[in-house]
Amino acid sequence: MIPGAFDYHRPSSIDEAVKLLADLGEEARVLAGGHSLIPMMKLRMALPENLIDLQDIAELKGISEDGGTITIGAMTRQSEIIASALLAEKCPILRETALQIADPQVRNLGTMGGNVANGDPGNDMPAVMQALDAVYVIAGPGGSREVAARAFYEAAYFTALADGEVLTAIRFAGPPAGHGYAYEKQKRKIGDYATAAAAVILTMSGERCESASIALTNVGDTPLLAQAAGEALVGTDLGDDALKAAADAAKAITQPASDGRGPAEFRTSVAGVMVRNAIVRAAARAA
């Protein structure tokens, strides 16, 4: 399959990339890892006239921590998330999630920025970012702005990212030491998108749940923050009643499509199971 013709650009700074986007207009697209965009171009469902490859922009790369705030550059590869000692210590849910994305070759090129900015409801990181209450740092012709992950997703492939803007980094407060976490994903095979998946981050005080944040992947047009599900856990000992209440609250907000991954009712049911399993695993990891 041969994509449509385009001109190729490889800027070396964010400013240069933003300027190229402004100068080249609507038919220009940025290229990160390319593992969503290039397949769409091969199908001619995307026909950009200009591709702006971000691979040479050093300021878009790397993972850092400053005063408890973790920043991940948009061009950081999934394989770098998996290998990061900093994330393994401070925010291991990202490693657990990245390992469930596609396969080793794809993770070597697929980026965090592409995963969260593309707006594909099948992507795994957006729900995790909603659970972490991350913000996305966006550069555009008017300078830089931030949008919360919880306010970023509007519909499938529609996000708060405007024409001419580039997502440059993801930023979030590292979850407290001793937090429990889990990303539970049911998929038909390695490389598939989730039938349903759930991200859970919680803190415990003895047997009592102090805080809980839950978000869902691929059971709606956007990632879904399951706020009521998290609230159903706070103050409980995560007994069976609390687990059922949380799973029911999560299921209530799902609106999955019926597709090759199963009928909508099945995927909603799987979402409930993923939420329950993720809570149990997160609790077992909490200190």
Partner 1 sequence: MSKMHIKMTVNGKAAEAHAEPRTLLIHLLREEFNLTGPHIGCDTGHCGACTIDMNGMSVKACTIFAAQANGAEVTTIEGIAAPDGTLHALQEAFREHHGLQCGFCTPGMITRAHRLLQENPSPSEDEIRHGISGNLCRCTGYQNIVKAISAAASELAAAKEAAQ
Binding residues for partner 1, rule: CB under 8 A, are 1-8, 10, 31, 34-35, 38-39, 41-42, 51, 53, 55, 79, 102-106, 108-109, 190-191
Distance CA 161, CA 32 (A): 15
> What tokens were used for 271?
């979402």
Residue for token pair 């799987």: 270
Of 78 and 159, which CB lies nearer to partner 1 in the complex structure?
78
Of 151 and 190, which CB lies nearer to partner 1 in the complex structure?
190
Of 42 and 244, which CB lies nearer to partner 1 in the complex structure?
42
Q: Which of 217, 55, 225 is nearest to 125 (CA)?
A: 217
Strands 50-53 and 7-9, by their bridges, are parallel
Contacts 24+ apart (CB under 8 A), 244-247: 244/276, 246/212, 246/214, 246/275, 246/276, 246/279, 247/272, 247/273, 247/275, 247/276
Minimal distance in Å, beta carbon 23 to partner 1?
Answer: 17
Of 31 and 93, which CB lies nearer to partner 1 in the complex structure?
31
Query: What does DSSP assign to residue 218?
Result: S
Q: Which of 273, 280, 129 is nearest to 196 (CA)?
A: 273
Following DSSP, what letter does each residue of 124-156 receive, concatenated?
A: SHHHHHHHHT-EEEEEETTEEEEEEHHHHEEET
Minimal distance in Å, beta carbon 158 to partner 1?
Answer: 24
Minimal distance in Å, beta carbon 113 to partner 1?
Answer: 16
Of 50 and 203, which CB lies nearer to partner 1 in the complex structure?
50
Minimal distance in Å, beta carbon 45 to partner 1?
Answer: 13
Minimal distance in Å, beta carbon 41 to partner 1?
Answer: 8
Minimal distance in Å, beta carbon 70 to partner 1?
Answer: 24
Of 60 and 102, which CB lies nearer to partner 1 in the complex structure?
102
